[in-house]
Amino acid sequence: MSQIEAAAPKFKLTVSRDLTDVAYRLLAVALICIALSLVSDAFLTANNLLNVLRQASLVFFMASGLTLVILTGKIDLSIGATVGLSACVAATVIKSTGSPWLGAAAAIGVGSIVGLGNGLMVTKLRIPSFIATYGMLWVAQGATYYYMSGQSVYGFPTGFRALGSGYLFGIPIPIYLMVAFLVIGYFFTKRTTYGQQIYAIGANTVAARLSGIPVNSRLNLVFVLSGAMAGLASLIYLARLNSAEGDIGETLTLPTIAAVVIGGTSLFGGVGSLFGTFIGGLILTLILNGMNLLNLNANWQPLVTGLIVLLAVWLDMKTRSKTDSN
Least Cα distance to 94 among 242, 311, 257 occurs for 242
Q: Is 175 in the site for another protein (CB under 8 A)?
A: no
> Least separation, in Å, of the C-beta of 67 and another protein?
14
The answer to whether residue 121 forms part of the interface with another protein (CB under 8 A) is yes
CB atoms within 10 A of CB 86: 35
Question: Do the beta carbons of residue 281 and residue 178 sit within 8 Å?
Answer: no
- Residues in 122-151 that interact with another protein by CB under 8 A: 125-128, 130-132, 134-143, 145-146, 148-151
Contact flag: residue 165 with another protein (CB under 8 A):
yes
- Return the range that interacts with another protein (CB under 8 A); candidates 24-32, 39-47, 106-114, 208-216: 39-47
Q: In whole angstroms, what is the distance from residue 17 CA to residue 252 CA? A: 29
| Shortest distance, position 262 Cβ to another protein, whole Å | 9
Which residues are registered as beta bridge partners of 243? Answer: 154
- Binding flag, residue 98, another protein (CB under 8 A): no
What is the size of the binding site for another protein (CB under 8 A)?
82
| Candidate list 235, 258, 274, 283; residue touching another protein; CB under 8 A | 258
Q: Which range binds another protein by CB under 8 A, 105-113, 190-198, 202-210, 288-296?
A: 288-296
**Which residue among 1, 170, 295, 324 contacts another protein (CB under 8 A)?**
295
Q: Is the torsion defined by CA of 184, 186, 188, 192 positive or negative?
A: negative
Instruction: Please report, as residue ranges, which positions from 177 to 196 form the binding site for another protein (by CB under 8 A).
Output: none
- Report whether 222 contacts 116 (CB < 8 A): no
- The helix (run of H) or strand (run of E) holding residue 172 is strand 171-172
Cβ proximity to another protein, 101 vs 138, nearer residue: 138
Is 99 near another protein (CB under 8 A)? no
Strand-pair partners of 154? 243
Question: Does the footprint of another protein cover residue 300 (CB under 8 A)?
Answer: yes
Binding residue for another protein, selected from 299, 324, 325, 326, defined by CB under 8 A: 299
Length of the chain: 326
Question: Distance between CA atoms of 298 and 311, rounded to whole angstroms?
Answer: 20
Q: How far is the CB of 8 from another protein (least distance, A)?
A: 26
Residues 66-85 that bind another protein (CB under 8 A): 75, 77
Contact residue for another protein among 19, 30, 31, 317 (CB under 8 A): 317
**Rounded to the nearest 5°, which phi and psi values hold at 167?**
-125, 150
78 SS3 class: coil
Give min distance, CB of 55 to another protein, in A: 5
Based on CB atoms, which residue is closest to another protein, 45 or 193? 45
Closest to 60 (Cα-Cα) out of 255, 291, 223, 268:
255
Characterize the bridge pairing of strands 243-245 and 152-154.
antiparallel
Q: Does 306 bind another protein (CB under 8 A)?
A: yes
Cβ 309 to another protein, closest distance in Å? 4
Closest listed residue to residue 10, CA positions, set 274, 208, 275: 208
Kindly tell me which residue out of 8, 15, 34, 154 binds another protein, with binding defined by CB under 8 A. Answer: 154
DSSP per residue over 250-291, as a string?
TTTHHHHHHHHHHTT--TTSS---HHHHHHHHHHHHHHHHHH
Sorted by sequence, the CB contacts under 8 Å of residue 116 that are 6+ apart come out as 220, 223, 224, 227
Q: Which stretch binds another protein (CB under 8 A): 38-46, 98-106, 188-196, 222-230?
A: 38-46
Which of residues 7 and 81 has its CB atom nearest to another protein in the complex?
Answer: 81
226 forms part of the interface with another protein (CB under 8 A): no
